[in-house]
Amino acid sequence: MKPPPFGYRAPRTLDEAVTALADADGGKVLAGGQSLVPLLNMRLAAPAELIDVNHVAELDTLEADGAGVRVGALARHARVERSATAARVQPLLRRALRHVAHPVIRNRGTVVGSLAHADPAAELPAVLALLGGHVEAVSVRGRRVVAARDLFVGPLETALADDELAVAAFFPAAPPRTGTAFAEIARRHGDFALAGVAATVTVDGDGQAEAVRAAFLGVAEVPLVLDLTEAAASGRLAEHVRERIDPESDIHASADYRRHLAGVLAQRALAKATADALAREAP
Amino acid sequence: MTEQAHRIELTVNGTLHVADAPARRLLSDFLRHDLGLTGTHVGCEHGVCGCCTVLLDGEPVRSCLTFAVTVTGRAVTTVEGLAAPDGTMSPVQRAFQKCHALQCGFCTPGFLCTVTALLRDTPHPTEEEVIEGISGNLCRCTGYQNIVKAVHRAAALIAEEAR
Amino acid sequence: MSTRIFGEGIARREDPRLLTGQGRYLDDLGRDALAAAFVRSPHAHARIIDIDVTGALDVEGLVAVYTWEDLPGRVAEPLPLLIPHPALTHGRTGYALARDTVRHVGEPVVMVVARDRYLAEDAAERVRVEYETLPPVVGVEAAERAEHLVHDDVPGNVGAVLRQETGDVEAALAAAPHVLEFRLDIERSAATPLEGRGVHARWDADDGSLRVHSSTQTATSVRAAIAVKLGLPQGKVEVVAPDVGGGFGVKIVHPWPEEVLVPWAARLLGREVKWTEDRREHFVAAAHERAQVQHVRVGFDGAGRVLALDVRILHDHGAYTPYGVIIPIVTSTQLLGPYKIGVYRAEVVSLYTTTLIVTPYRGAGRPQGVFCMERTMDRIAAHLGRDRAGVRAANLIGPDEFPYDQGLTFQDGRPLIYDSGDYPALLAKVTDLIGWDGFPALKEAAAAEGRRIGIGLACYVEGTGVGPYEGGHVEIDSSGRVHVATGLTSQGQGHQTVFAQIAAAELGVPVEDVHVVTGDTRRFGYAVGTFASRAAVMSGNAIALACRRVRAKALRIAGEALEADPSDLDITDGVVHVRGDRSSGIPLRTVSVLSNPLRYAFDEQTALATQFAVGGPDTEPPVPHGEEPGLEGRDYYSPVRSTFAAGMHAAIVETDPDTAEIRVLRYAVVHDCGRLINPLVVEGQIHGGVAQGIGGALYERMAYDESGQLLNASFMDFLMPYATEVPRVETDHLETPSPLNPLGIKGAGEAGVIPVSAVIAAAVEDAEGIAITAMPLSPDALFRLRRTQPGALPPSDVGR
C-alpha cells in the first residue's frame, strides 16, 4: 500500500497554484490529504501530478463576521472546530465538525477539502447545502462563486473544473430566532454516517416553528435538502422524510434501515434545533 | 524511469535531518526507513488505526497520510522523543507501564503521541474526554480499559510533578 | 519459594523498551534489505492462462520477478498439511505461488523483488496475468450443495467429516420429555493483529547458513519447515521471532508462502530480502475464522436437564486446509462446556469454499461451540419458563466430580477429561457480580422510562496448555544474572515478566536479575509454539522444572563450599545460605564461578575458579562424575493431557427502540485459570479478549459477495472496535489449581473472547423478546428482526 509515483509541485502563492493546476495534465490538489492519500496508498487514484497547496499561506484563513464564516482552503477542521467566533456566528459548524472522523484526522483535514471531496456520507457538504453557502473557486480563467446547490453533482463529484482550486467556503450566519442541530448514526464513533441530518428551525414570536429545513447525508448521492415546515406541522415528519428519500444498501446498512433512520434522526434533530432556537431567543 | 528526489529538511525530536526522497515518500516511511526511527509504526496505511501518529509541530497527525515533502521545514516529535534527554520516561510513558496499558506494543507509540497532546491541551480530562481523545487509535490487545486508566494516571502524574 | 514474586501484579519488564520506541518488530529490521511484493489473484476461482512480466521489467530498481515456473524442487511443491487427521480424508494445501489455479482472492501468483516496497509495488502493478474464471463457491451451504467444486478431486467439497458420540442420541431424544430443534449462524471474522505478517531473510554464503526473522507464533517449526523446503540442514537455519505486534492465532500458521519464498530468494540473490505484509494483503492473504452453520436438536426434562444433544455443524475452512480440522474439533468438543449432557452426538462437515483459509483465531472454534451450547440453554429456559441461570445450574458438573470424563477425544488426540474446577462457585460469583437476581426490577424501571435493557449469561470451559511439550533453559552466569530461554514465542503476553517471576520465585533471586528470551532458535531449539492458551502452562512449568535443576545444583556446590548439607540450604536474594541464618552465605555468582573449573582467568571472579585457586581432594576430577560444568539446567514439561480453565460472563445491554443501536452497559467476567502468576497480566488478557469478543458480536464480519470478493478489506469497513465501542470489564477470579502441573496453573489467553457472542445474543434477546440466532448482530440486522419476528416488542411510537 504505497502510492504510485506522481509529479509534484509546491506553489507558494495562489497565482502559482492555479497556474500549476492549469499546466498540469491530470493534476490533483493536495491540502489535508486525509481523503486523497488513502486512495493513493491503495492505488485507487493515480494523478499525474499533485499540486500541494500546503505552502500557500494566503489560503490559511478563517474569518467570521455577522454575515457568516469564511473558511480558507488551508484551515484545518480542528481550527474551525475550536474557533469560538465561528461557533458563535454559525453554531452548526462546530456541531457537525465533531462528527467528522476522529480528532487526529481533524488536525490535518481541511473543511474545503471535505467539500471538494464531496463524499455523500460526509457531514460538511450537508451543512453547506442546508445553510445555502458557497465555495469560491479560482483558476487562471478567474474567480467564481459556486453555490452549494450547484456544487454537489454526484458521489465524489463536484461542479469544480479540473483547473479550478476551491480557495474558500462560506457558511452563512444563523438568522435570528433560528436554532440548529446535527444528528447522525455511524457504526463506530467517527465512521462515515449510515445516515445523518443537519437541521435548522426558525421560530416565530410565539415560539412556534415557522421554518424547518434539513439536509440529509448518507441517504442520497448528494446532500439532500428538504423543507420540512409543513411536514413538521402535520405531525407526520418521519413518514414524510421516508417518502422523500431513496437510499442505497451497502454492507453496513440496508436501504430500509437507512430510510428508517433518516426519519428518526429528522425528528431528533428537529426537536434539538427547536430547543436551540428557543434557547437563543431567551434573553 | 527515474523518480525525482526532493530535498526534505525535518527537525525530528529536536535534531535537524536532511535527506532526499521522492515526493510520494510517506512521512511514516521517511521516519522509519530514511531516518531509521522505527518507533513510529505502520498498521494500516489508510489512516484508520492510528499506529503511525506523530506530533507535527505539537499536533498529532497520521504520518501515513502525510507526504514527507509536504512537511519539509517543520518539526516532528516521535515516540523516540517523548522521554526526557536523560532517558527518564515521560509521565504518559510511565503511566502506561504502571497501568499495564500495552501488550504487544505495536499501537503504543501512536497512543503515546496522541495522549501527550491530549493532556497538554486538556490537563484534567473527564472520562468522556479521554475516550473521545483516544477514539481514533485502534488497539487489538488491551480492550482500552487500561489505556483509559493510564491517561487519567498520567494526568495526575503531570499535575503532581508540576507542583 | 523464598520470594513472594509469583502471584504479584508487577509492572512488565518489556515495557520500557516498547514505550520508548526501542521495540524491534519485523519491518524495523533489515533497513537495506530488498523488498518483496506479490501479484495476487483478483478472482475467487480461476485458471491461470498466461503471465506476462515484461511490463515490470522497465521499473528501475527491479531485481527479480518469480512465478511458480521459477521455483525449484520442494519450493515448487504444495505447502505442508501441518496437522493431518484421519477424518481429514481430502486435505489440500496451496502452492507458494499459484501453479495453475487460484482458489481465493489474494492467493499469491507472482513474487516481485525490488529495491524498496514502492518500486516493488510499481512492478507488481505492471505484471499482466490472464485468467479464465471458474465458478466461485461462497458460503458453506453453497459448498455443501456442491454445484461447483473448489478442487476437482474433492467430491462434494467435503474435506472432512468428524463424528463423535457418547451414546444412542436418537433413542435419548425420543425418550426426552421436551425436544427443540433450531439453526444457528456465525459469520467470519479474523484475528487482525495491528502488525501484519512479515519475513526477513539473510543468507550467509560463506557460512552456508540462513537467518530468518518472522513475525510468527512458532519459530522452531518455521525453522524446520524452511530447512526442509530449501534442503538445508536444520543446524544451518536460524529463525527468530522479533517483537511481534499481536498474533491472536493467525501467526501460528506456517510456513506461509512468503515464509518459504523470502528465504529462498535471499539465498538465490545473495541479498537480504524482506516482505512486510500490508493491511490489504492481511485481509485477503492471511487467514480468517469463525464461520459456521449449526443445526441443533436437544432433548431435556422439566428441570431443564439436557438428556440428549445432537449437533450438526457445517464448517467453512476456505480454499485449503493447512491447519487441518483443529477448529471444528475444538468446536464440537468444547461445546459441552461445564455441563453434564446425557447423550451427545456431534457431526462436523468441513467444507471447501473459494475464500481465504480458515485457521485458528483466539478461541479457535470455542466461541462457536459456546454460542451453540449457551443459545441452547437459553432456549430450554425460555421453553420451560425457567430462570436461565437456574437451567444452567441444573446441568453443571459438581465440584466433587473431578476428574470429569466427557467421553470424547480432544484436539490433542487425548481423552477430554476435565482436571479440576468449581463451576457452581463460578456461577454464584458471576450472578452476584452482575446483579442477576435484582435485574428484573431494573428492567421494569427502565421500561417505565421507555428504555429497553436486557441481561445475558454464558459459561465456558477451555482446554488450555495442550501438548506435546515445551522446554526451558536456565543459566546463572558469573555476574549473577539469570538467563532464561524457552522456545515458544511472544506476541505481547508479557512472557519476559511472568517467566522471570517464575524463575525468581524458584531460584530465590531478585526478578530484576532474570532475563528471558523467547522464540529464538539460537537460544532454544525445541519448542512447539504459542497458541491454545498454552505458553504459561507449558513454558512456565518447563522453566520452573529447569530452575529446580539449577537450584539443586547450586545447593550441591554451595553445600561443599559452606560445608553444609544441601538440604539445610536456602537461597534468598541470590545468596545461598543455611536456612534461617543469613549471616554468612555464598552468592549465586560465586556458585556459578565454582561450577565451571577454569584453566584461564579473565577477571577477579573467574580467577577464583582456576586450578590453583580451587582446593578440594586431588583424587576427584575437577568436574565430578555425573555433573557438567556451568550453573545451568534444562528441562521439559510434557503433560499427559490439557488442563481445563473455565469462566462465566454476564452482560447488560441496552437497545435503542428507535434506531436499534446496541450498547453494552455492563460486562462482568468471572474466571478460573488456576494459580495466577501475575494478576495484572491475566486481567489484561481478559480485557483484550472481551474487546475482541465485542468486535465479533457486534461489529466484525468478513463481507464476501457471491462472486467471492471481500467487500470490506480495510479498517474503514472491517469494523474493529475503538475505545468508544468497548465496555469496561468488571472481573473476579476463582483459583482452582490444576493438579496436572507443578505450578498448578491453567491458561488464560483466550478466556476473554470465548463466550462474548453468546452473552450479547442472550442479553439482546432478553431486551427485545426476539430470538437471536445469528452473530454478529448489527443495528440493521436487529431492525430487520424487529420487523419480521413475531413476538418482538411493540415498536416505539417515536419515528412513526
**Domain boundary residue among A172, A204, A225?**
A172
Closest CA to A168 of A141, A149, A146: A146
| Nearest-neighbour CA in chain A from B110: distance (Å) | 11
- The answer to whether C58 faces chain B, any CB pair under 8 Å, is yes
For chains B and C, what is the number of CB pairs under 8 angstroms?
A: 173
Is the pLDDT assigned to residue A188 strictly greater than 50? yes
- φ/ψ (deg, to 5) at C145: -65, -30
Backbone angles phi, psi at C398, to 5 degrees: -80, 155
Peptide bond into C468 cis (omega under 30): yes
C554 assigned to some structural domain: yes
Same domain? A259 vs A230:
yes
Same domain, B150 and B98: yes
Same domain, A125 and A104: yes
For residues A14-28, give the mean pLDDT: 95
Quick one: C262 and C114 in the same domain? Answer: yes
Longest dimension (CA), chain C: 101
Say if pTM beats, i.e. exceeds, 0.95.
Answer: yes
A121-170 residue pLDDT tens: 999 999 999 999 999 999 999 999 999 999 999 999 999 999 999 999 99
Same-domain status, C552 and C622: yes
A261 touches chain C (CB under 8 A): yes
Specify if A2 maps to a domain. no
| Residues of chain C with C-beta less than 8 angstroms from the C-beta of B144 | 687, 691, 722-723, 726
Whether the pLDDT of residue C316 is over 60: the answer is yes
Domain shared by C570 and C687, yes or no: no
The reply to whether C631 and C734 lie within a common domain is no
**Is A34 close to B65, i.e. CB distance below 8 A?**
yes
Q: What distance lies between CA C584 and its chain's CA centroid? A: 48
Q: How many domains does chain C have?
A: 3
Cα dihedral: C170, C172, C173, C177 (round 10): 160
Give the closest-approach CA distance of C548 to chain B in angstroms. Answer: 29
Is there a contact between C19 and B140 if contact means CB atoms under 8 Å apart?
A: no
Indicate if the pLDDT at residue C64 is higher than 60: yes
Q: CA of C500, closest CA in chain B: separation in Å?
A: 16
Q: What is the DSSP string of C282-298?
A: HHHHS-BB--EEEEEEE
- 3-class DSSP state of B82: coil
From C276, which residue of chain A is nearest by alpha-carbon distance? A1
Residues of A in contact with C278 (CB under 8 A): 1
A49, part of any domain? yes
d(CA A168, CA A51): 17
Name chain B contacts of A104, Cβ cutoff 8 Å. 50, 53, 60-62, 114, 136-137
Instruction: Give the C-alpha separation, C647 to C363, whole Å.
Output: 13
Give residue-wise pLDDT tens across range C127-176: 999 999 999 999 999 999 999 999 999 999 999 999 999 999 999 999 99
Looking at residue C449, its amino acid is E
Verify whether the Cβ–Cβ distance B136 to A103 is below 8 Å.
yes
Chain centroid offset of residue C93 CA: 21
Which of the residue ranges A207-211, C22-26, C152-156, C258-262 would you say has the lowest mean pLDDT? A207-211
Contact B96, C15 (CB under 8 A): yes
A281 has pLDDT over 90: no
Of C278, C703, C783, the CB nearest to A251: C703
pLDDT of residue C605: 80
How far apart are the C-alpha atoms of C586 and C635, rounded to whole Å? Answer: 25
How many C-beta atoms surround the C-beta of residue C711 within 10 A? 13
**One domain, residues B32 and B97:** no
Whole-number average pLDDT of chain C: 95
Can you tell me the distance from the alpha carbon of C215 to that of C248, in angstroms, rounded to the nearest whole number?
12
Q: Which of B63, B81, B99 is the last residue of a domain?
A: B81
- Whose cell is 421453553? That residue is C383
Confidence label for C321 from pLDDT (cuts 50, 70 and 90): very high
The band of C610, judged by pLDDT with boundaries at 50, 70 and 90, is confident
ipTM entry: 0.98
Instruction: Please report the residues numbered 667 through 706 in chain C whose beta carbons come closer than 8 angstroms to any beta carbon of chain B.
Output: 680-681, 683-684, 687-692
C316 and C236 in one domain?
no
Q: Answer with the one of B41, B62, B81 that is the final residue of a domain.
A: B81
Choose the mutation target among B34, B62, B115 for the interface with A, i.e. most A CBs under 10 Å: B62
- Retrieve residue C716's grid coordinates: 474503514
Nearest CA-CA partner of A109 in A127, A124, A128 = A124
CA atoms within 13 A on the CB side of B115: 33
In B47-149, beta strands by DSSP E: 53-56, 59-62, 75-77
Let me know if residue A213 belongs to a domain.
yes
Model pLDDT, residue C494: 95
Query: Are C27 and B132 in contact (CB < 8 Å)?
Result: no
State pLDDT tens for residues C383-418: 999 999 999 999 999 999 999 999 999 988 899 999
Q: Which chain A residues are within 8 Å of C703, Cβ to Cβ?
A: 251
Same domain, A207 and A163: no
Q: Tell me how many domains chain B contains.
A: 2
Closest-CA distance, A219 to chain B, in angstroms, reads 23
pLDDT in tens, C692-714: 999 999 999 999 999 999 999 99
- Burial of residue C580 (number of CB atoms within 10 Å: 0-12, 13-18, 19+): exposed
Residue B10 and residue B75 in one domain: yes
- The pLDDT value recorded for residue C793 is 59
Q: Is C469 on the interface with B (CB under 8 A)?
A: no
CATH code for the domain of B103: 1.10.150.120
C27, C244, C715: residue with CB nearest B49: C715
Residue B73 sits in the same domain as residue B98:
no
- Nearest residue on chain C to B149, alpha-carbon basis: C728
User: Are both C460 and C476 inside the same structural domain?
Assistant: no
Residue C568 pLDDT exceeds 80: yes
Domain of residue B18, residue span = 5-81
- For residue B27, tell me if it sits in a domain: yes
* Whether C217 contacts C489, CB under 8 Å: yes
Residue C441 shares a structural domain with residue C296? yes
DSSP letter at C699 equals I
- Compute how many other C-beta atoms are within 10 angstroms of the C-beta atom of residue C576: 25
We report the CATH number of the domain holding residue A254 as 3.30.390.50
Chosen domain end from B81, B106, B138: B81
Given the C-alpha cell 457480580, which residue does it identify?
C433
**A282 touching C, CB under 8 A?**
no
Residues of chain B in contact with residue C752, where contact means CB-CB under 8 angstroms, are 143
If one counts every other C-beta atom within 10 angstroms of the C-beta of residue C484, the result is 28
Give how far C724 is from chain A: nearest CA, Å: 6
CA distance A244 to C648: 48
- Judged by CB atoms closer than 8 Å, whether chains meet at C194 and B143 is answered as no
Return the exposure string of C670-686: e unless at least 16 CB atoms fall within 10 Å of the residue's CB, then b.
bbbbbbbbbebbbbbbb
Residues C506 and A176: their CA atoms lie apart, in Å, by 77
In a domain, A265, yes or no: yes
Q: Do both C625 and C652 map to the same domain?
A: no
Residues A200, A106 within the same domain: no
Asked if residue A226 is part of any domain, the answer here is: yes
Assigned domain for A136 exists: yes
Cross-sheet strand order for the sheet of A224-227: A178-186, A193-203, A209-217, A224-227
Facing B24 at nearest CB: one of A5, A54, A78:
A5
Cα–Cα distance measured from residue C463 to residue C103, given in angstroms and rounded to the nearest whole number: 33
Q: Give the residue from C236, C255, C285 where a domain finishes.
A: C285
The string over C380-403, giving b where at least 16 C-beta atoms fall within 10 Å of a residue's C-beta and e elsewhere, is bbbebeeebbebbbbbbbeeeebe
- Distance separating alpha carbons of residues B78 and B74, to the nearest angstrom: 13
pLDDT band at C607 (very low <50, low <70, confident <90, very high): confident
Residues C431 and C515 in one domain: no
* Containing structural domain, residue A90: 60-172
CA separation for the pair C261, C210 (Å, rounded):
13
Q: B13 and B67 share a domain?
A: yes
Range of the domain at C684: 292-466+640-788
Q: Is residue C210 less than 8 Å (CB to CB) from chain B?
A: no
Mark A180-205 as b/e (b = at least 16 C-beta within 10 Å).
bbbbbbbbbbbbbbbbbbbbbbbbee
Other beta carbons within 10 Å of C114: 24
- Collect all residues of chain B within an 8 Å Cβ-Cβ radius of residue C719: none
Question: Which regions in chain B score pLDDT beneath 70?
Answer: 1
Residues B96 and B69 both lie in one domain: no
Same domain, C595 and C648: no
Which residues in chain A are contacts of B62 at CB distance < 8 A? 34, 104-105, 108
Cβ distance B24 to A103 less than 8 Å, yes or no, reads no
Q: Is residue C271 part of a domain?
A: yes
Contact, C749 vs C491, CB < 8 A? no
pLDDT digits (tens, 9 = 90+) for C336-345: 999 999 999 9
Please name the residue that has the C-alpha cell 497527525.
Answer: B61
**Residue A283, pLDDT score:** 55
Chains that touch A (3 or more CB pairs under 8 A): B, C
- Residue after which a domain boundary falls, among C285, C319, C353: C285
Asked if residue B106 and residue B55 are part of one domain, the reply reads no
Q: How many residues does chain C have?
A: 800
Instruction: Look up the CATH number of the domain holding residue C322.
Output: 3.30.365.10
For residues C350 and C386, is the Cβ–Cβ distance under 8 A? no
CB-CB neighbors (< 8 A) of B104 in chain C: 193-195, 243-246, 491-492
Exposure letters C528-557 (e unless 16+ CB within 10 A, then b): bbbbbbbbbbbbbbbbbbbbbebbebbbeb
What are the DSSP calls for C341-403, one per residue?
Answer: -SEEEEEEEEEE-SS--B---TTTTHHHHHHHHHHHHHHHHHHHT--HHHHHHHHBPPTTS-S
| Rounded percentage of chain C residues whose pLDDT exceeds 90 | 92
Examine residue A267 and state whether it is found in any structural domain, yes or no.
yes
Same domain, B73 and B115: no
Split at pLDDT 50, 70, 90, the class of C611 is confident
Are A28 and A106 found together in one domain? no
Residue C435 lies in a domain: yes
* DSSP reduced 3-state for B19: strand
According to the model, what pLDDT value does residue C606 have? 80
* pLDDT greater than 50 at residue C461: yes
Q: CB of C275 within 8 A of CB of C199?
A: yes
CB contact under 8 A, A257 and C660: yes
Q: In this structure, what CATH number is given to the domain that contains residue A168?
A: 3.30.465.10
Looking at residue B155, its pLDDT comes to: 98
Grid cell listed for C52: 506476462
Q: Are A241 and A262 in contact (CB under 8 A)?
A: yes
pLDDT over 70 for what percent of chain C? 98
DSSP class of residue C610?
A: B
Examine residue C169 and state whether it is found in any structural domain, yes or no: no
Structural domain includes residue B132: yes
Residue C278 is part of a domain; what is its CATH number? 3.90.1170.50
Q: Using alpha carbons, select from A200, A44, A222 the residue that is nearest to residue A121.
A: A222
Residue with cell 475464522: C289
Asked if B48 lies within 8 A of C715 by C-beta distance, the reply is yes
What's the pLDDT at C796? 47
Same domain, B27 and B45: yes
C12 to chain B nearest CA, in Å? 7
User: Nearest-CA neighbor of C269 among C146, C113, C132, C393?
Assistant: C113
The shortest C-alpha distance from B123 to chain A (Å) reads 17
- Tell whether the model's pLDDT for residue C2 goes beyond 60: no
Q: Which chains touch C (3 or more CB pairs under 8 A)?
A: A, B
Q: Tell whether B62 and B118 lie within a shared domain.
A: no
**pLDDT > 90? residue C623:** no
- pLDDT of residue C799 exceeding 50, the answer is no
Domain final position from A126, A153, A172: A172
pLDDT of C601 above 90: no
The 10 Å Cβ neighbour count of residue C515 is: 16
Task: Say if residue A106 is in the same domain as residue A193.
Answer: no
Q: How far apart are CA C24 and CA A237, in angstroms?
A: 58
Residues C541 and C649 in one domain: no
Asked if the structure places residue C714 within a domain, the reply is yes
Distance CA C138, CA B117 (A): 46
| Assigned domain for B109 exists | yes
Of the residues C285, C317, C336, the one at which a domain ends: C285
Is residue B86 in a domain?
A: no
A29 vs A46: CA distance, rounded Å: 12
Q: What are phi and psi of A139, to 5 degrees?
A: -140, 180
The C-alpha of A96 sits at a distance from chain B's nearest C-alpha, in angstroms, of 15
- Give the span between the Cα atoms of C47 and C99, in whole angstroms: 9
| B61:A107 CB<8 A | yes
Residue of C nearest to B93 (CA): C19
Do A234 and A277 reside in the same domain of the chain?
A: yes
Residue contact A264–C278, C-beta within 8 A: no
Q: What is the pLDDT of residues A200-253, one digit of tens each?
A: 999 998 989 999 999 999 999 999 999 999 999 999 999 999 999 999 999 999
Q: How many domains does chain A have?
A: 3
A72/A108 same-domain check: yes
Type of residue found at C714: S
Query: Tell me, what amino acid is at C794?
Result: P
> What residues in chain C have their Cβ under 8 A from chain A's Cβ atoms?
117-118, 121-122, 125, 278-280, 658-661, 699, 703, 711-712, 714, 716-717, 719, 721-722, 724-725, 778-780, 783-784, 798-800
Cell 511514516 maps to which residue? B28
pLDDT digits over C650-707, tens only?
999 999 999 999 999 999 999 999 999 999 999 999 999 999 999 999 999 999 999 9
Q: Identify whether residues B134 and B104 lie together within a single domain.
A: yes
**pLDDT tens by residue, C775-790:** 999 999 999 999 998 6
Residues in B touching A3 (Cβ below 8 Å)? 24, 26
SS (H, E, C) A9-74: ECCCCHHHHHHHHHHCCCEEEECCCCCHHHHHHCCCCCCCEEEEHHHCHHHCCEEEECCEEEEECC
In angstroms, the Cα distances linking C92 to B126, C281, C365 are: 55, 22, 20
- Residue C622: its pLDDT value, please? 85
